[in-house]
Amino acid sequence: MALNLDVIGKKMDPVAFRYDEDRVILYALGIGAGVHELDFVYEKNLKVFPTFAVVPLISVLMPFISAARINLYALLHGEQKIVLHKPIPTSGTIYTTAVCESIFDKGDKGAVVNVGLDTRDDAGELIFENKTVLVDRSAGNFGGDHGPKGQKLDPPVGVSPNFRVEQAIPHNQAALYRLSGDKNPLHIDPAFAVKGGFDRPILHGLCSFGYAGRAILASACQGDPARLKSFAVRFMNVVYPGDTLITEGWKLDSGDYVVCTSKRDGKIVLGNALAVMNE
């Protein structure tokens, strides 16, 4: 079934997402936080990881994926960006509105779907934004605009990183992370994973995103969520539970960081990554 190009430019109705402190803590555990990051896993003086901004996405993106007729078996998460406008509340009801900004035809590589999402509080104030890039590997060659060439952002050659963080991924991490709302069977069901072209269930890309966000927060933000303005990545390789992630950051003259997350075998997992700091 062909993509529904009529979704381009159409704003979806706001979707409410109600959560409490337990949901915030469960997410923190889902991205590997423990008692050494007490303010993120204990309701006393609770803080919210900035990457929690991706949690409401599932309830919004699944109806969009259906409306756009994206093939779930051929779906890849291409890129993700969060932009924080104010600290994320530890509980409450927030409202997310999505709009399909563009769909580009990448030929045999598939179709690239760009979705922008704004999340606001009860007063209508903007809390954070998400920019999500989805790739339907089965939907290319539909005769559409090829779109711009993606910008490349690499770490500086021959320069040691300002920080380096190793994080071992427990074998049950995908089973834990899915409780934050992303229950795609690709991450838990071996038979479904094989249908998707993988040997076994893979870790959620947004779980890897959260692990990298934790590394940045600890190493570049002194544990203060308010220090991070935005974080953008390109998903480049899959991660399996049991792998070890290595996140490195190079500080720019602006005070921002070029970031790269790889596995022990050297394969880059999150590339083209930039963490922008608040002044």
Active centre residues (catalytic): 182, 187, 202, 205
What DSSP designation does 132 have?
Answer: E
Q: Do residues 138 and 109 touch, judged by C-beta distance below 8 A? A: no
**Residue 148 CB coordination number (10 Å):** 8
Q: What is the DSSP letter of 8?
A: B
Tokens of 136: 């339907």
Q: Provide the edge-to-edge strand list for the sheet that holds 92-105.
A: 15-19, 92-105, 111-120, 126-136, 75-84, 228-235, 268-277, 257-263, 244-251, 163-168
- Answer yes or no: are the C-beta atoms of 167 and 33 closer than 8 Å: no
Closest to 202 (Cα-Cα) out of 216, 215, 188, 212: 188
Structure token pair of residue 100: 């399909």
